[in-house]
């Protein structure tokens, strides 16, 4: 009996050794996959930053549709930089798609609440959408942060003149054709 018992013990030990070996192989493979996954995430972030740079360059070259294509192809959450939603929204503005631009600019504002460019562009967009009150509030924020911003002051004067010419006019009736903003970026 002792020989059989020793044989069973050897079989159990071999089984246990094989089980541990299999678990170690699985962990090694899984750990490697996790490492590769993290490495790919870093590459994705680097690629996203390169795409952001490319999108901004296309924007500066006034290739707004191409810029928008590049910027919108960047996966959500890979980078948290206010420039991504700002340039995406401003490309929409240049293509006269103000309704798409507004919520994207609001996202940019969450990332950088005191950036004059974002506040100014929001003022332009809400003017174009016919919301004078919100537009004025954004331009007032621009002037509060940058009192020397003559462009924002001038646009506030234009809106004040419009209000004097159309007292009590519904904000939604304003077509927003009297100002434009994003051309100077």
Whether residue 25 has pLDDT greater than 50: no
Strands (DSSP E) found in 87-163: none
Instruction: Give residue 50's pLDDT.
Output: 95
Q: What is the pTM of this model?
A: 0.68
Question: Which residue segments constitute the domains of the chain, with CATH numbers given?
Answer: 80-184 (1.25.40.10)
Q: Distance between alpha carbon 170 and the CA centroid of its chain, in Å?
A: 33
Confidence of residue 179 (pLDDT cuts 50, 70, 90): low
Average pLDDT over residues 53-74: 97
Asked if residues 88 and 71 have their Cβ atoms less than 8 Å apart, the reply is yes
Percent of the chain with pLDDT over 70: 66
More confident position, 117 or 42: 117
Arithmetic mean of pLDDT over the chain? 79
Is the Cα torsion angle 74, 79, 85, 90 positive or negative in sign?
A: negative
Instruction: Give residue 36's pLDDT.
Output: 38
């Amino acid at each position: 009996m002792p020989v059989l018992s020793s044989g069973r013990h050897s079989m159990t030990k071999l089984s246990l050794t094989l089980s541990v070996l299999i678990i170690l192989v699985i962990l090694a493979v899984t750990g490697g996959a996790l490492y590769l996954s993290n490495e790919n995430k870093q590459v994705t972030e680097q690629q996203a930053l390169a795409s952001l740079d490319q999108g901004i360059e296309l924007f500066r070259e006034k290739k707004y549709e191409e810029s928008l294509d590049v910027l919108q192809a960047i996966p959500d959450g890979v980078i948290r930089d206010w420039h991504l939603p700002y340039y995406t929204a401003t490309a929409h503005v240049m293509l006269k798609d103000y309704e798409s631009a507004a919520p994207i600019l609001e996202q940019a504002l969450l990332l950088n609440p005191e950036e004059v460019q974002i506040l100014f562009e929001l003022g332009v967009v809400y003017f174009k959408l016919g919301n004078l009150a919100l537009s004025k509030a954004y331009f007032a924020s621009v002037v509060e942060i940058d009192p020397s911003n003559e462009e924002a002051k001038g646009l506030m004067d234009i809106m004040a003149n419009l209000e004097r010419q159309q007292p009590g006019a519904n904000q939604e009736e304003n077509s927003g054709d009297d100002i434009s903003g994003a051309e100077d970026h």
